Amino acid sequence: MTEKPSPLAEPIEIVKFWKNRRRGESIHVTLSEYEGHALINVRVYATGADGIDRPTPKGVAMGIRKLPELAAGITKAMAKARELGLIDDDASADEAGRATQDA
């Protein structure tokens, strides 16, 4: 019986966006596999003088089973930031649109 290839044989980039206005670092969110384990990876990448993004040690990778908890936490953080007036609906929608265009 042949083994079915992993759907994560290559990392899948979900989104990337600039970390700040200087545009020297970006945040990449990917799904990948390491030693047979599916991972969600949120990592800072540095853009070199050659224009190539390279991963840094800054970030977090965790088992994909933690993704619902991470998503719930991000959703709560968004709600609290709106409640405190730190962001508004227009700004977050604009950022989301820009992030998907960059990916």
The number of folded domains in the chain is 1
pLDDT for 30: 97
Which domain CATH number covers 40? 2.30.31.10
With beta carbons less than 8 A apart as the criterion, state whether 29 and 16 touch: yes
* Domain that residue 37 falls in: 12-102
- How far is residue 54's CA from residue 99's CA, in Å, rounded to a whole number? 18
Question: Is 2 within the bounds of a domain?
Answer: no
Averaged over successive runs of 10 residues, the pLDDT of the chain (103 residues) comes to 77 95 94 95 96 96 97 97 90 55 49
What does the alpha-carbon distance between residue 59 and residue 27 come to, in Å, rounded to a whole number? 9
Q: What pLDDT is stored for residue 5 in this prediction?
A: 75
pLDDT of residue 100: 47
* In a domain? residue 6: no
- 64 Cα distance to chain centroid: 13
Element of type H or E holding 69 = helix 67-83
